[in-house]
Each structure stands twice: as C-alpha cells, then as structure tokens.
Structure 1
C-alpha cells in the first residue's frame, strides 16, 4: 500500500506515505498533519511529524520516558539497525540519532557499551 489517503476540509486530497505511519488509522479518524509537498495535480503529500527541529524535542522526551519505564537503560545506539530502532521506538534511525544527540548535549543520558542509559540524577 502507498499509505493513507486523507480528505482535508472536505476540499483537498492528500496522502500520508506508508513510511510516515506509526499506528493504524480507521475511517473517520481526525489527524493533524503538515503539508510537505504539493503535487502538479494539486494533491498533497502529508506528514504526521513536526519539522525535524520541533520533532527532535518530542522524540527526545519520548526516549526519556521509555528510559524511565525501562529502569534507565535502552539497548539501542548509533550502531543499532534502523529496523530495531523502528521496532522499539517507532521512529527512524535519523530521528533517533537527533533525539539522542539532544539528550547527550543536555546531560540527561550517556552511552554505554551496548546502548544508552539515564544519568543518575535523571533516573
């Protein structure tokens, strides 16, 4: 499948590509999207995610919550496969690396031999 087709304000048609979908949607669901491209035929390509610099904070917060839930340790790092990251966090490897960079810079996490962990003061 290509993704999910969306009606916007009962006037426009758009497509959320399959790679953007992180959960199942049903007919009638209301979603907030961002237009990423307008095609020559007037149809819209849509994204469920914010622009990278905004989404990064959302992803970083989600990773922090996941770390707290998993007793402060997550067995994922820059060497993890994109599939493993997608499976565990439902984000792309690129988004994961941006979010982890944010958390490292802010001193909330540190790398371990096999993943990342919360620094003690954040546990």
Structure 2
C-alpha cells in the first residue's frame, strides 16, 4: 500500500494537461505526477518509481526526486523562509519542508541551517520537521562494543563536550578534552564507541583505540610551533586550564604528545616552554 513519506512503484493511469495520474491504492487514490516531473519515456499501464508527499494545497502528490532526508531520519537543513506558520526548510523537493513554530526550541533564522528530525505527523498526515530531537532518539540500551566504529552527526554542545547522534538512532557525547579539531552542528563524521554505560549514556571518541589521537595532537603541536617561530611558552608545568584553553585537551594528553615528540627528537622541553629541535 502506497503511503505518504515513502517511495512506491505506481502504475500510470492516464495523462492530463498538468501531468500523469498514478494509482496509489485505496488510501490515497489517484495521485498526480506533475508534468515538470514526468519521465522522458512512459506509457499508460507502465510503472514509475516515485516519492509521495503533499503539495502546497495539501493534496497527495508524487515526485521522481529523492528528498535530502526521508521521514524517520535526522538531517542538517537550511531555512529558506519564515512565515506565519513556521520555518520552511530546503529538503530538495519542489515544496519546502515545514518546521512548525510548536516544533522549534529556539529562535530560527532564515539562511541558517539546523539539525532536525523529519517525520509524518499523525494528526495531519503531513511530513514535517522538528527541533525536539530527544523525542525521536532511541532510548533502548544499545549493544555497541567498545572501540566499534560508528557514523556520527553532531547536533549540540554542552559544558562536557559535543552531543552526537549515533547511526541515526542513539545519542552520545564527545568530551571536549578529547576533541582536537573544530566541530560544527550538522557535521557528519566517523567516530568510535569508548564506553556504553549501564545507564544508557554513550561516551564517544573521534579516534580509534590506540595511538591515533596522540599522533594527531603531535601534528597539531608541531604546526603551532612552526607558526610561532619555533617556540611556544607552554609546557608540562603549565596549569591544566591553560593547556585546555590553548589546545582543548587534557594535561595528560598534552604530556603524552610532547613526551612522544621529545623522544623522536622533534622538540626540546624547558621550564619556560617547548621548542622545535634545532631552533
């Protein structure tokens, strides 16, 4: 049975000046595929693969296009306009996606992008977006293994670090002192499960278990030293707060990285700071 918010293989019934009418079954009846959407080659009784949604007059309509996000998924979408009913988002279809005012947690601005969840509203039958993401995150304890590689989408920041949606289902945290590069909301990246706690909370890392994260920090420190002319007034003796402010990492991670660079004879370490070897 064809449903709003899904793709379906529908039979072409007849042609009209404004497009093709498709058989969408008893629930939706005949659905229009607008002329601008018609395939180059078609025939009465033939089948077309379409996505079903509502047009600007709330009538079921078909499109050959694939939206940027399917109902049931999270996505990072740009706001095209703000109207009296809410914000309209670019999701790649002729009719923009509505983010109703009641589904907004903060002031939404045109031209900016936001992480949203897309779903079919049970009351109206329309496809809408929401910023109330927690309602659609899976709260079932996951069976992720420590060190497992996962797909992440960043969606928020807290005092602890960055919140991420894991595999489009669960929520986890990348701790700020374990992140060595700038992150932004909506960014998709690979990550790794550090710990899946009994309370359902999941600790994440951008780096696989082992040396990779320290290797990355070593590279950052070397690059910073080059930009500073070979000397940086920061060392093992510096307060942890100063190290975190400068690099966004813990003092322990900093000492591991500088110790490794020292052993490789790439830097020297003094009471006043660190220096590129030979400088």
Calculate the TM-score normalised by the size of structure 1.
Answer: 0.80
Aligned runs of 1:57-96 on 2, under 5 Å? 57-96=215-254
CA contact (8 A) 1:12 1:43 kept: no
Question: Relative to total residues, which structure has the larger helix share, 1 or 2?
Answer: 1
- Decide whether aligned partners of structure 1 residues 20 and 99 sit closer, same or farther in structure 2, where only a CA change above 3 A counts: closer
Calculate the TM-score normalised by the size of structure 2.
Answer: 0.39
Q: Where does structure 2 lack aligned partners over 5 or more consecutive residues? A: 1-157
Question: Relative to total residues, which structure has the larger strand share, 1 or 2?
Answer: 2
- Decide whether aligned partners of structure 1 residues 116 and 3 sit closer, same or farther in structure 2, where only a CA change above 3 A counts: closer
Show CA shifts across 1:64-112 (max 9, x none): 1000000000111111011111111222111110000111101111123
Q: Where does structure 1 lack aligned partners over 5 or more consecutive residues? A: none
- Decide whether aligned partners of structure 1 residues 5 and 84 sit closer, same or farther in structure 2, where only a CA change above 3 A counts: closer
Aligned runs of 1:5-84 on 2, under 5 Å? 5-17=163-175, 19-20=177-178, 23=182, 25-26=184-185, 28-40=186-198, 42-84=200-242
Aligned runs of 1:100-111 on 2, under 5 Å? 100-111=258-269
Say which one has the larger Rg. 2
RMSD of Structure 2 on Structure 1 (CA):
2.3
Higher relative contact order (CA 8 A, sep 6+): 1
- The SS at the match of 2:244 is helix
